[in-house]
Chain A
Amino acid sequence: ETGVTQTPRHLVMGMTNKKSLKCEQHLGHNAMYWYKQSAKKPLELMFVYSLEERVENNSVPSRFSPECPNSSHLFLHLHTLQPEDSALYLCASSQAQGAAYEQYFGPGTRLTVT
């Protein structure tokens, strides 16, 4: 596979469930990101991992828990979510060093919280 992949592509979960989103990048990058995209809002950065170390946490509620075991894999663990957490969750990757900071996105996970 090439590029950035995400699984699952669609997820419906109840507010008491626990689930995880998975992202994998095949681009040799060493920075990975989680974004949330809701209708009519700009992309909201949730977490950044650079060289496997978390460097950004934009005041995201603790019901979202990221995990980055290595530079190619990123997880987002979800528990006791709220209906307003329903959105498209996007993973992206880039180089952590150098002049360019081009981010490449995965296809996203469409999450619905019931």
Chain B
Amino acid sequence: QKEVEQNSGPLSVPEGAIASLNCTYSDRGSQSFFWYRQYSGKSPELIMSIYSNGDKEDGRFTAQLNKASQYVSLLIRDSQPSDSATYLCASQRPMNRDDKIIFGKGTRLHILP
């Protein structure tokens, strides 16, 4: 069973600090990884995708991928109350008609004002 594991949280982080969200995946064939943000009652919104080992930065967000350890993380710098949401990690194999994205259950992040 291919799985993506995340700590459900809640993860509480003071405003202005760095929030660190972690994710592990079981399928070694996965090559594409995604972070989605989901506010309560809303749909998931894609915020980062990463395909190569190392770091990828986009504004206050940095995604980190370590394929050897099957580990993906998302760092949020200068956390804001508006970052409070559930963050979904997802993995996917190389493009194939029969390969689908596998989602984790998500980590609830709470930024403390």
A55 to B94, CA, bound (A): 16
- Decide if the interface of chain A is mainly helix, strand, loop or mixed: loop
With A99-B51, A99-B95, A105-B43 given, is the CB distance from A56 to B103 under 8 Å? no
Residue pair A45, B100 in contact (C-beta under 8 Å): yes
With A42-B106, A43-B88, A108-B43 given, is the CB distance from A102 to B100 under 8 Å? no
- Of A14-22, A68-76, A77-85, A90-98, the stretch lying at the interface with chain B is A90-98
Give residues 18-65 of B contacting A (CB, 8 Å). Answer: 32, 34, 36, 41-46, 49, 51
A97: chain B residues at CB < 8 Å are 95
Contact of B49 among A55, A90, A102 (CB under 8 A): A102
B101 within 8 A of A: yes
A103 to B43, CA, bound (A): 12
A96 to B19, CA, bound (A): 33
- Decide if the interface of chain B is mainly helix, strand, loop or mixed: loop
Chain B interface residue bracket vs A: 20 to 34
Chain A to chain B contacts (Cβ below 8 Å), 24 pairs = A42-B4, A42-B103, A42-B104, A42-B106, A45-B100, A50-B97, A55-B97, A55-B98, A90-B43, A90-B44, A99-B51, A99-B94, A100-B32, A100-B49, A101-B92, A101-B99, A102-B34, A102-B49, A103-B34, A103-B101, A105-B36, A105-B43, A106-B43, A108-B42
Beyond A50-B97, A99-B94, A108-B42, 10 additional contacts (C-beta under 8 Å) are A40-B105, A43-B88, A56-B100, A90-B43, A97-B95, A98-B95, A101-B99, A104-B46, A107-B42, A108-B43
Interface of B toward A, CB cutoff 8 Å:
4, 32, 34, 36, 41-46, 49, 51, 88, 92, 94-95, 97-101, 103-106
